[in-house]
Amino acid sequence: HHVYHLYVIRVQNRDSVTNSLTRAGVSTSIHYPIPLHLQQCFSSLGYVAGDCPEAERAEQEARTHSREPGLGITALVNRSPRDLPDALRPYLFFDNFEDGLATDPDLVVIATYSDSHADLAIRAMEAGAHVFVEKPLALTAEDAARVTGTARRLGHTSVIEGSGSTS
């Protein structure tokens, strides 16, 4: 069973994306504002700013959206029937994506088989939602271009977890 409690995104224009998500009703926060090598508990290791430039850059670009006040689950969608943990049983559950989209979500998190990411992201954006896609965004460059083109055409935010990409 997957248990996702944080969805971390990394974008170069973190404040702009944060503002866009906030306007869409999606709350975000910075969970780890100080890179690990610069935290007090690791000071005995002798690291200083600049020793881990990629970690420091990631700290400046990362945002987390999580289940907290202001962010709620509208529905769950899974292609196959499953036994849900008790904590998820109160939510609407659908076995097809269109029924889930009919609940009119502001943001759709796509965390399924990689071969369906691009098509689901496009369908969600065309239904009016922003999308958060577990990496990879798509299996081909052509499909990735379709997704980012749709995001630009519709003015939606599409975020790919872990890749540092946004449209």
Find the Cα–Cα–Cα–Cα dihedral 16, 135, 121, 63, rounded to 10°: -20
DSSP conformational letter for 29? B
Residue 150 pLDDT class (50, 70, 90 cuts):
very high
| pLDDT for residue 127 | 94
pLDDT per residue over 58-76, tens digit each? 666 554 544 445 556 778 8
| pLDDT for residue 143 | 92
Q: How far apart are CA 56 and CA 131, in angstroms?
A: 26
Residue 38 has pLDDT above 50, yes or no: yes
149 or 33: which leads in pLDDT: 149
Report residue 93 as tokens. Answer: 């559950």
The model's pTM is 0.57
| pLDDT for residue 73 | 73
Residue 54 has pLDDT above 50, yes or no: yes
Amino acid letter, residue 14: R
Q: List % helix, strand, coil for the chain (3-state, nearest 5).
A: 40, 20, 45
Q: Which of 29-43, 67-81, 84-98, 141-155 has the highest mean pLDDT?
A: 141-155
35 or 102: which leads in pLDDT: 102
pLDDT per residue over 78-136, tens digit each? 877 777 767 677 788 888 899 999 998 888 888 788 888 999 999 999 999 888 887 78
Q: Give which of 138, 93, 103 is closest to 119, Cα–Cα.
A: 138
Contact (CB, 8 A) for 97 and 77? yes
Residue 46: which region, alpha, beta or left (left: phi > 0; alpha: psi -120 to 50)?
A: left
* Angle in degrees, CA 109, 115, 120, rounded to 5: 40
Q: Percentage of the chain surpassing pLDDT 90?
A: 16
The rounded mean pLDDT for the chain is 76
